[in-house]
Structure 1
Amino acid sequence: MDLEELWRDVTGTQPPPSDAAVVALAAVALLLVAVPALWRVTRHAVTIAHEGAHGLAALLTGRSLTGIRLHSDTSGLTVSRGRPGGPGMVLTAFAGYVGPALLGLGAAYLLHHDHALAVLWLGVALLALLLLQIRNFFGLWSVCIAGVALFAVTWWGSGTLQSVAAYLGTWFLLLAAPRPVLELQALRHRGWARTSDADQLARLTRVPGLVWVGAFLAVTTGCLLMGAWWLLGVGY
């Protein structure tokens, strides 16, 4: 396949799955989020998107990105340099918890217009860019595994497999995004998350951390509802 043919495939359209298949994939994604044993594994994908969103926001607001670390307990750390306060720091801190939902919403929009292959290639590209900023072994391993798996499906998978992967990944991001927000507030309630994004935002803005948690939840829930609207084909 030459570059011109590849570009035609990426920018072209692919037939969507049946309505029943889209609903079934949503159910599978919900299991990946709701079943504790599965969530302990799949949550790593949310952490990758979370820390990647911090990094992207830092770059877009003019901060210098030092590096990203991903840990085996599904936590992560993104370090950037710049002003210790101000809008850039606020946007960087805010981006993490809403990042997976916004990524899922963008993918849902593309799928609504039958661009399943574009969703997969976008995922490959973002993982490749993220890999350049990873600064620890576990992070390298987890991003490489995700990137290789996604690339394999994108390059060698059948059209049906590619469509299934795009819809399943999109449903997962949309359904998974609110759960870490709820987990965050549970930890804050116990006094175990004093350095969380919400508490950092509270120190930066003097707006209570609970308000920021509410904002995270509003954005992630709104993205889920809008994304589901598009994925289920409403509005055609």
Structure 2
Amino acid sequence: MDNHHSAYLLGSASPGLLGSASPGELWDRLFGTQPAPEQWLTIATCALALAAVLPRPLWRLSRNAVTIAHEGGHGLIALLTGRRLEGIRLHSDTSGLTVSRGRPTGLGMVLTAAAGYTAPSLLGLGGAWLLAAGHITLLLWLATALLLAMLVMIRNAYGALTMILTGAAFLLISWLADPGVQAGFAYAAVWFLLLGGVRPVFELQAKRRHGGAPDSDADQLSRLTHVPPAMWLFLFHAVSICSLIGGGRWLLDL
């Protein structure tokens, strides 16, 4: 979520894939294509993701996964723009904190600040593209690699536990589960990112309307660019909703 300050703090493989496969077989399994699941499974995983996003009690738990993507977005763009990433914290109230150092202004700082609320939706869109192309295994292993890379930068116990449990789920599913389970898990995860990327922007808008979140990503971006926070909120909404529409079309093969 939004405990961010800039100097800056910003808030399918078959079983035994690694055990017996030759390098050539491993390459084929990772970069080959797998058949798309039945349409009913695609719709069922969408309904499952909705059930994790809409009810408030479940959202309080599932929002941790969105926070991972949010803070991971800050961290990844900080590295790509030449900033020094010092650490990431994930908190039990589903807030997060990403600490990077570098120039306090400029394009790199703007991109880093803008990456948080857009990251879950854009990751979901990228995942939908991979699934539409039949790369279920590749998606699962890319997600596992990103989670492991992010784990190295976690700086608190709750965050480490969250990352280990999430990464273990992806690793076990991608390594041990049969192709049908892998497909269902991958589609559910992507639907969750697409749907879960929409709600936090509305939550931030509601908080700001009532005088909360004075140091949100939108406010930091406003100070950096002299563009009103409402315009940044509009951008966050546009990215999340367009990603949901585009990703949903890919997943449903429309």
- TM-score normalised to the size of structure 1? 0.98
Whole-Å Cα distance in 1 between the matches of residues 149 and 214 of structure 2?
30
Residue 208 of structure 1 pairs with residue 228 of structure 2: yes
What residue is the counterpart of 2:168 in the other structure? Answer: 148
Q: Distance in 2 between matches of 1:68 and 1:82?
A: 16
What is the identity percentage for the equivalent residue pairs of Structure 1 and Structure 2? 53
Deviation at 1:214, TM superposition (A): 0.8
Deviations 1:165-219 (A, max 9, x none): 1000000000110100000011111111011000000100111111101100000
Q: Please list, as runs of the form range in 1=range in 2, the aligned pairs for 1:60-209 lying within 5 A after superposition.
A: 60-209=80-229
Task: Provide the residue aligned with 2:48 in structure 1.
Answer: 28
Gaps of 5+ in 2: 1-19
Give the 3-state SS of the residue equivalent to 2:123 in structure 1.
Answer: helix
Question: What is the SS of the residue equivalent to 2:162?
Answer: helix
The whole-number CA distance in structure 2 between the counterparts of 1:65 and 1:4 is 36
Letter in 1 for 2:123: L
How many residues matched? 234
Say whether 1:219 aligns with 2:249: no
CA-based RMSD of the aligned residues comes to 0.8
* Runs of at least 4 residues off by over 4 Å: none
Rounded Cα–Cα distance in structure 2 between residues aligned with 1:188 and 1:169: 29
Structure having the larger proportion of residues in helix: 1
* 2:213 match: secondary structure: coil
Instruction: Tell me the amino acid that sits aligned with residue 175 of structure 2.
Output: W
Question: More displaced, 58-67 or 2-11?
Answer: 2-11
Amino acid in structure 2 at the alignment position of 1:73: D
Question: C-alpha deviations, 1:22-54, integer Å up to 9, x for none?
Answer: 111111111110011111111000000000000
> CA offset at residue 9 of structure 1?
0.7
The residue identity in structure 2 corresponding to 1:174 is L
- The amino acid of 2:142's aligned partner reads L
Bigger RCO of structures 1 and 2 (CA < 8 A, at least 6 apart): 2
- Residue number in structure 1 paired with 2:250: 230
Instruction: State the AA in 2 paired with 1:191.
Output: G
Structure 1 unaligned spans of 5+: none
